[in-house]
Structure 1
Amino acid sequence: MTPELFGKQETLPAGTPPSLAAMWHDKQNDWKAAHEAAQEDDSSDGAWVHAYLHRKEGDNGNANYWYARAGKEPYAGSLDEEWSAITAVLLNR
């Protein structure tokens, strides 16, 4: 499944891992649910999603902290590009 198709799902597919669920909630414009889902994942994937969400929120200091926890450089492209990039990786796990 492509990130675009995943984001267009009307309901969250059963068994979706927390980080991927966070990306789905974000695409549905539910930042709070996305953030809660990201907090359920203590892995580097969870930190990466957490970084994206705080970047989207405009809290770059907090985002940079989470990028470092994820072992990633802060993303320089658009939020839409980052959403697609993260979601593509998570869909292929």
Structure 2
Amino acid sequence: MSLEEFKQLLEQEQKCPEFLPKPLQALWYDKKGDWNRAHEIVQDASDADSAWVHAYLHRKEGDPSNARYWYRRSNQPESKESLTQEWEQIASCLLVKVKQTWMQMN
């Protein structure tokens, strides 16, 4: 799924598809305006992708020190882009990973 396809799915569907990995589900809920649900999804996750989304969410919340902590946990640099650009960057990267995983399985 491309970023554009993901955005189209967001516009067309109210409910988040359960087949999406947790970090993409969190981005879904964030884009739908449910920051709390997005945060719940990644809050207790220990993987780097979830930490990256977690960092973005705290940056969006306006908590830069907490965001820095999660950027370090994710092994990603602190973003200086707009929140929209960062959301798209994270989503694009995660979608590529999903595609690579799917191709390896088939």
Normalising to structure 1: TM-score of the pair? 0.91
Find the partner of 2:42 among 38, 45, 60.
38
TM-superposed CA distance for 1:40, in Å, is 4.4
Aligned partners of 2:9, 2:95: CA distance in 1, in Å?
9
**1:4 maps to which residue?**
7
Q: CA RMSD in A?
A: 1.3
TM-superposed CA distance for 1:30, in Å, is 0.2
Runs of 4+ in structure 1 off by over 3 angstroms are none
Render the CA deviation track for 1:43-78: whole Å, top value 9, x for unaligned: 000110000000000000000000011111100010
Aligned partners of 1:6, 1:39: CA distance in 2, in Å?
24
**1:18 maps to which residue?**
22
Bigger Rg, structure 1 or 2: 2
Aligned partners of 1:40, 1:23: CA distance in 2, in Å?
15
Equivalent residues, number: 93
Between structures 1 and 2, the one with greater helix share: 2
Percent identity over the alignment?
Answer: 44
Aligned partners of 1:76, 1:7: CA distance in 2, in Å?
25
Aligned partners of 1:45, 1:27: CA distance in 2, in Å?
17
TM-superposed CA distance for 1:6, in Å, is 4.2
Alpha-carbon contact 1:48-1:66 (below 8 Å) kept: yes
